[in-house]
Structure 1
Amino acid sequence: MSNVTYDIMWREAMMELLDQLEAENPEDPSLAPKDLSEWSCIYIKYLQIFRKLDTAYDQVVHPQKRIDMKKALEACMGRVLELRHWLVKLNKGLDFVNLDDILVDLKLTPEVLEVPAPRYFIEDRSKELKDRAKFLDALTEKYTVPDASPSGGLPELPALSEDDAILLIQCNERGRQARERSRIMRSVKRQRQLEDKRTRAGMALNVDEAAMKIQACMRGSWWRSKVRQNADEEQVFIGMKPKAPMGKDPQVLERKTWQRRKGVQHEHQHEYEDAVVSLRGKVKELEGQDMREDIQDKINAWFINNRNPETGEYPDFPEEEEGGSKIILNPPPPPPEPTPEELAAAAAKQKGSKGKGKAEPPKKGKDAKKTEPEAAPKTEEVVTSVFVSDIEEAVKEYVDKWQERDESANFAQRYDAELVKAAMRPLVFEEVRVQVDEEMRILLQNLKDMVAAERAAKTGKKVKAKKAKKAKKKGKEGKGKKKKDPTVDRTIESLYAELVSTSILQKCPEIHIQDYLGAFNFLGATLEKAHVPTDPSIAQIRHVVTEYCLLSLGSAYVHEKAPIIRSVLLYGAPRTGKTSLAQAVAHLAGANFLNISPRHTDGKFPGKTVAMMIHMVFKVAKMMAPSVIYINEIEKVFVSDKKKMKEFGGTEPFSRIKKELLKEVKALEPSDRVLIMCSSSEPHICVKKDEKAFISFFDKHIYLPLPDYASRRAIWAGLIERHGGKLPYEFDLSTLAHISDGYSSGTIDQVVRSMLTPRRLTRLSEQPLTIAEVLQWLCRAEPTPPDPIDTLRAWADKTPARAALLQSEADKSGAAAQPKDAKKGGKGKKAK
């Protein structure tokens, strides 16, 4: 695509943002969105705008456009997170909001709800991340840290005996010979049929007639081939058939174009950075002296206007902490004069305060209700709008700077020198202002000394030198003891190296959230209205993890303003992708991945040194943010029963990190881009007080179920293609999806990895995959039993949102049943 395409995309996104702001706050308050469905439409529209801005920012090569575009992108991203949290509140606190009926009304596909992972999280920090990766690789090689090995394949079948192997070979050979004889007999039978047909015709063809028939057959074959080729090209063009001949696939060409634009983008960015330095010097050289004289004239005028006419003393120059000469150059506006209504209200209040006498004693009886203070009216909860002002500012900047700008002479989309100068002028002005302030303070002190000397000469008294004012200390000294830092004498590099040597800080594999394959549930809202309990779909899990974990962690600007989420629990059956999702978040956000799972750190930092380990982990995570701290089997950290703790195994108790972990998580601030991601397969083992502490530790609880039929169908096809295989057209994928009911996505991945060995991949063209072959490998894997799944669903009802919902439903049913019981009791006989 061309540069104009992305400019149009940017313009459309900014105009749509304006429309969204008007839709949220219309002139008529009755038209404002109120219920879940209306806010859902606005949320979907913001997602579409977010996707447009993300694509445009990723491909625009103009460096100054990208700066302004990033402001709009991050503001829109923050607004999406605000609306997500608001939808959850309107959805009775449940994180998974079913929007399939809204999509049907809007005539949109489920792909609209896919939240993009902005690529600039990594690309804008590419140099930093490359240096960090090199440092990590060097430390890994130095300390010979073993790599995190992937999950192993399926167990091998036992070796066959010699007799069984010979019998199997004989059976296969007999089958091969029978198939070959059958093929020969089919060809002989077809030849005989053709000869019988010619004999029945009664006459033989001459040379011309035979040639015409051959020509007709060849023309038909040629035209059928041409029609088939045109159909294939059309399917490739519209994206229905991505596997096209080399060099003709539009998706391949698009990827090449994107890579080429990335090179141009980096080249223009370096040119812009060099121009900023050079043009800033030019602005200071050409306009700096005029700025200096203008500032000096205004400060001199302020000296004269504020001089005391009686004593001749000059005013004190504002300190730098107070703003320095900013107060002089841009004085704050005077407070508005009070209106007559405000004056009358103030006079009435003052009069009422004077007329108050002794407090009357509280009344008793019927009049007591009248004297009781009225309860404060409940304020209606509204959606937070922190990012609305940022969106308005971004739209205004676009309209003022770019909407009507003529760029016909800038075909290559390089930087604009005039815009660079305009951006540098405030910086140069501030630099000159600070220098002038220092000079004017000295000048003002000299003037004060002269005035004091003249006064002393007249009165005959000596002048005492004034002591310099001490800067006011912010805050009270000694208020709250700060926690001592046991590693204050160590560098962050040494702490980083120690965590790498103990394999706590790990290299994160390159996993994408979209690799968590699964389909959208098209009947979620329908089943919810019918009060049929359903598990969240795989697509909903992708959306929630991207919004709660990735978007806020990847952007420092969004993280400080968006609703804060410190800790997330991913719970579900084993091998449902909990660890992979945590690694995907760390990879896409360009974050460090620190694994302090109890079983992983067992034997490391024994005894009381565990406090040092937790301190080092959080210090490195904060200093080298963003960071993801991962804890597997987190439920075992909160178990306090000593008998259960012995069953877990290990040389150290798993709960040894609990105390320090709670302290560090509680101390996390919005500026700390640290996310605690934990996984659990048995959250129900925490009971009584442990259960309460365990549940309240997390801000969000996300359940990862087993894949349903639609997701299994997508998982089988996607994993086989990911591991280098290819399914034939006639492969019965629906049957395989039905048969694999109860298997987790990790188990299916294990089956595919074991089946598609390098030797099998080389023979796929000769011998395609069949259902029977896949089932042979699937039978070696064990499905997930239903009992743990039922236990996990029952435990989900204990999470805060589900518990509150069930309690409200129980209260409603109890309130509905109470009048009937009271009516029956009123008509019954008296109790004896």
Structure 2
Amino acid sequence: MSHTTYNLLWAEAQTVLDEATKIDVEQQSAKPTKDRDYARRIVGTLYLQYIRAVNMLDQCYDQIAQPQKRMLIRKLLDASIGRMLELKHELVNIDLSEYSYFDDVMVERQILPQEAEIRVPTYFRREREKEIKERRQTIDRIMRELGFYEDDATGIIMTEMKATRLIQTHERARQGRLRAQFMKEIRSLKDKIKAEPKEEELEEGARKAALKIQKIWRGYITRRKIRKRVVEEMLLIGMLPGAYTSVAERTRAEEVKEDRRRLQEVRQAEYESALVTIRDDIKKHRGPAMMEEMGDEVRAWFMGYKGQTGKFPDLPTEEAGGSALIFSRQGQAESERSKSTAPSSKESKRGGKGKKSVKEKEEVKKRPEDEEDLGFKMSGSAFLADLMVAGADYEEKWKNLDESKNPAQNYYDDMIRKDKTAEVEAELRKIVDEQLRAELEALQAALDRDRARKGKKAKKAAKKKGRRGGKKGKKKKEKDLTPDRTTESLFEELVTNGIIKKYPEVSITSFVGERSYANHELRVKGHDPPPSLGDIRQVILEYCIMPLGSPQVHKNSPIVRSVLIAGPQGSGKRLLINAICTETGATLFDLSPANIVGKYPGKSGLVMLLHLVSKVSRLLQPSVIYIDTAEKTFMKKVPKTDKTDPKRLKKDLAKLIKGIGPEDQVIVIGTTRLPWECDQKLLQQAYHKMILIPRPDYASLSLLWTEQLFQYAGLSRQFNTSSLARLADGYTVGSILAAIKDVLTCKRVLQLRMHQLTHAEIINVLCKREPVYKEEEEEFLTWFTKTPIGRRKQKALEMEAEKIKELESAQP
């Protein structure tokens, strides 16, 4: 894709943002509404629009090479992510559920389900790739020194060529053994060995044999062509999944992307160099003239002020803005004067409205605490102003810019000069103000001598007031138990004790599952359907990955300090933890009861452990604090067989979570498969969000079987995965993946072309594993209805049922 293509994509994203911000601003000033369906449609529309903008802006930021464009796109991208997360929390309050469905809005806006799913921004990891790699290498080095890895320092130095030949030799031998075994099995399948025919029979049947061979061969060739044509047609219309064997096009596309990313680095380096060069040039050649102009301007104001009042004014302090504050005040005064010249009739109308609003406010204050009766009102946003400012910047600078003369996407010199001129002017103004303060002091002293007055006391009193005000903002700092330790030593200690762990790198897309396509209609009919695996993936993105990946977003968006992921064994809880860490490049701290047993013993040791985790997690943010079997921390009665002291963090876990602030890219994530076996009140105090992973539905199972099986080249594209999805109902994703791994061994994969896979092979292995029984599923659902969001939902459903009964009873 070319530079023009990404410019057009940016323009499309900006159009979506302009539409969304326009609706957003209108809703900020709109009156509260009691119609929840209307509120859901408005907020849902904005939510989907911001998701579309985020996905498009991410592509632009990843591939556009011009550095000044990328700076503005980054602001738009962060602000869009933050606003999207704010709207997500609004939707939770409207739907009383962590999951929202917008089928009606998507049909109305013609938005595809794929467009409504968030993609993880590439800059979360790409801009920290070197840091993440070095951190993983450090963990490997420490683990190797501790003896957890095999010692590969044999003292033998092997060249790359020798190593390649050794690998080739062993690989060819392995393939030869497999091929020999394969051919042996084929020969054993032959039931008969045809006896050699006699010469007389050969002569008589030579012509018939030739005709027969010709007939069979032509039929085979024709059938193969027809099958190929049918498969190509089905692939074209999307009725069959595509083959995963050819990766040449994907490789080429990735190479093009990497080339553009390398160009980004070159253009960024040129831009940063130009910032310094142009700034120095402006300061050298235009600096003296600028200082003289500013000095003359302020001196003129001094003399004018003295002519009107008979005394010299006080120059504002540097903290207040210096002499720049004087002219900004003059601008404000002029704007106020222009407003005051409006017709008196309009003033009276405005005054009437103002009085009415005061009365309305007084009435609201007099009302009892019935805020819920007012209905839904869109709350304020910390990102909307940034979106509007960045949008105006785009309209002013980039929308109509002709870039035909800049095909190489170099930086624009005039834009840098404009920004640096303002920066140099602000810097020189401070110097000018210091000189003017000295002049003003001398003039004032001369004026005081003439009038025999002294004005030093007032100045001293003003200074004292400033000093007193500066002492009020001080806060007590937390006591640092390791003030003399470096971050590297603390990191090494936690790795040595197994608190910081290395995790396998997996993408969030590895958590395979379809989005719900029928839940919207079920909710309209009054039902409360469970989410699908695709909905779980979306919520994990919104609560864990998107806020954790960007410090700007995390600081201003609604904070989620802790999340509890509950689900049966094999449902993918640990996969989600690894995916969160991978997508954000986070450091993983394992505070599971089984992992901290025997480490940092005693009360003082526990205090030190929590201090180290709290301190290092902030130094190496983003960080994920992981707690497996989270229910054990709050168990009412510990079994005698459990020797792990699971209640060790019972009192301190809530304090650790509460100490996470908006500026800390840290999140606590717990996993459990028995959430009902503990004190629910303490569990809910510790974990602010609770996510239940249900058993996979038919759509998710069908997608899972399709993606997992069709990655093997020898498998027929017409293999029926729908029947497997029906037969596997009730089994978790982990059980299905394990069954596929057991069946499709290396030997079986080599036999796929000659001996196609059957459903019985997989089902026979799958049946040996435990499914999720109905009793266990009901226990999970019962527990979830007792969570805070579950109780709110049940209460709302009961109130709606009561209203329906009242309406029915009121009818004659």
User: TM-score, normalised to structure 1's length?
Assistant: 0.78
1:111 aligns with 2:114: yes
Q: How does 1:544-583 map to 2 (within 5 A)?
A: 544-583=539-578
One-letter amino acid of the counterpart of residue 645, structure 1: V
* Matches of 2:83 and 2:746, distance apart in 1: 48
Q: Is the 8 A contact 1:236 1:244 kept in 2?
A: no
Residues 591, 627 of structure 1: 8 Å contact kept: yes
The residue number in structure 2 matching 1:635 is: 631
My pick for the range that moved more, 230-239 or 504-513, is: 230-239
Partner of 1:10: 10
Change (3 A) 1:556 1:819: closer
CA distance in 2, matches of 1:734, 1:131: 45
Structure 2 partner of 1:356 = none
- Call closer, same or farther: CA 1:107–1:17 in 2, change over 3 Å: closer
Equivalent residues in 2 for 1:702-741 (5 A)? 702-720=691-709, 727-741=715-729
Matched residues in 2 for 1:772 and 1:317: separation?
89
Q: Does 1:596 find its partner at 2:594?
A: no
Give the Å deviation of 1:467: 9.7
Q: Which residue pairs with 2:681 in the alignment?
A: 692
Q: Distance in 1 between the 2:684 and 2:458 partners?
A: 68
SS of 1:330's equivalent in the other structure is: helix
Provide the TM-score with structure 2 as the length reference: 0.80
**Tell me, what secondary structure is at the counterpart of 1:280?**
helix
Residue 392 of structure 2 aligns to a residue whose secondary structure is: helix
- Aligned residue in 2 for 1:84: 88
CA shift in 2, pair 1:229/1:430, >3 Å: farther
Deviation at 1:257, TM superposition (A): 2.1
Distance in 2, matches of 1:292 and 1:735, equals: 81
Give the unaligned 5+ runs of structure 2: 151-181, 357-362
| Equivalent position of 1:292 in the other structure | 291
Matches of 1:228 and 1:345, distance apart in 2: 79
Shift of 1:633: 1.5
1:221-620 to 2 correspondences below 5 Å: 232=232, 242-243=242-243, 250-307=249-306, 314-331=312-329, 333-334=332-333, 336=336, 375=368, 378=371, 379-386=374-381, 387-448=383-444, 454=449, 469=463, 471-474=466-469, 482-608=477-603, 609-620=605-616
Residue 667 of structure 2 corresponds to residue 657 of structure 1 = no
Q: 1:669 aligns with which of 638, 661, 679?
A: 661
Contact 1:237 1:250 in 2 (8 A): no
Which sits farther off after the overlay, 101-110 or 628-637? 101-110
Instruction: Give the deviation of 1:757 after TM superposition.
Output: 4.2
Provide closer, same or farther for how the CA distance between residues 266 and 233 of structure 1 changes in structure 2, counting only shifts above 3 A.
farther
Q: Is the 8 A contact 2:48 2:116 kept in 1?
A: yes
Task: Report the CA distance between 1:400 and its aligned residue.
Answer: 0.5
Structure 1 equivalent of residue 770 of structure 2: 782
User: What is the CA–CA distance in structure 2 between the aligned matches of 1:240 and 1:278, rounded to whole Å?
Assistant: 58
User: Contact conserved, 2:243 with 2:717, CA < 8 A, in 1?
Assistant: no
How far has the Cα of 1:402 moved from its partner?
Answer: 0.8
Q: Secondary structure at the match of 2:255?
A: helix
Choose from 96, 99, 103 the match for 2:99: 96
Please report how far the alpha carbon of residue 716 of structure 1 lies from its aligned counterpart in structure 2 after TM superposition: 2.8
User: What letter matches 1:527 in structure 2?
Assistant: L
| 594-603 or 438-447, larger mean C-alpha shift | 438-447
Equivalent position of 2:166 in the other structure: none
Residue type of the alignment partner of 1:118: P
The answer (yes or no) to whether the contact 1:236–1:250 under 8 Å persists in 2 is no
In 1: Cα distance, 2:395 partner to 2:90 partner? 30
The CA distance in 1 between the partners of 2:20 and 2:704, in whole Å, is: 37
Cα drift, residue 279 of structure 1:
2.0
What root-mean-square deviation, in Å, do the aligned CA atoms of Structure 1 and Structure 2 show? 4.7
Which amino acid counterpart does residue 322 of structure 1 have in structure 2? A
Amino acid at match of 1:272: Y
2:244/2:710 contact within 8 Å kept: no
Q: Distance in 2 between matches of 1:252 and 1:237?
A: 25
Contact conserved, 1:298 with 1:329, CA < 8 A, in 2? Answer: no
- Please tell me whether the aligned partners of residues 598 and 632 of structure 1 are also in contact (alpha carbons under 8 angstroms): yes
Task: Using the TM superposition, give the Cα deviation of residue 511 of structure 1 relative to its aligned residue in structure 2, in angstroms.
Answer: 1.4
- Aligned sequence identity (%): 30
Q: Relative to structure 1, is the Cα distance of residues 432 and 245 closer, same or farther in structure 2, using a 3 angstrom cutoff?
A: same
- The answer on 1:71 being equivalent to 2:75 is yes
Structure 2 CA distance for partners of 1:474 and 1:146, relative to 1, 3 Å:
farther
Distance 2:456 2:733 in 1: 90
What is the distance in 2 between the residues matched to 1:396 and 1:785? 57
Q: 1:780 to 1:345 in 2, by over 3 A?
A: closer
The answer (yes or no) to whether the contact 1:100–1:525 under 8 Å persists in 2 is: yes
The CA distance in 2 between the partners of 1:655 and 1:817, in whole Å, is: 47
- The answer on whether the counterparts of 1:145 and 1:503 sit within 8 Å (CA) in structure 2 is no
Tell me how far 1:576 sits from its aligned partner.
1.1
Letter in 2 for 1:614: L
Q: Secondary structure at the match of 2:652?
A: helix
Partner of 1:745: 733
Q: 1:475 and 1:487 mapped to 2: Cα distance?
A: 29
393-402 vs 383-392, which moves further:
383-392
Mapped to 2, the partners of 1:240 and 1:287 lie a distance apart of 68
| Kept in 2: contact 1:577–1:745 (CA 8 A) | yes
CA distance in 1, matches of 2:531, 2:634: 27
Please, which moves more after superposition, 492-501 or 768-777?
Answer: 768-777
User: Helix, strand or coil for the counterpart of 2:71?
Assistant: helix
| Secondary structure class of the residue paired with 2:596 | coil
Q: Deviations over 1:198-219 (max 9, x none)?
A: 79xxxx99xxxx9xx999x989
Farther off after superposition, 232-241 or 114-123: 232-241
Which of 144, 165, 171 is residue 141 of structure 1 equivalent to?
Answer: 144
Give 1:795 shift.
Answer: 0.3
CA distance in 2, matches of 1:446, 1:622: 52
Q: C-alpha separation between the residues in 2 aligned to 1:521 and 1:650? A: 43
Q: 2: CA distance between counterparts of 1:693 and 1:245?
A: 51
Is the Cα contact below 8 Å between 1:61 and 1:413 reproduced in 2? yes
Q: Distance in 1 between matches of 2:275 and 2:803?
A: 70
Distance 1:142 1:78, change over 3 A: same
The structural deviation recorded for 1:709 is 2.3
Where does residue 120 of structure 1 map in the other structure?
123
Q: 1:472: how far off?
A: 2.6
Larger Rg: 1
The 2-side partners of 1:604 and 1:514 are apart by 35
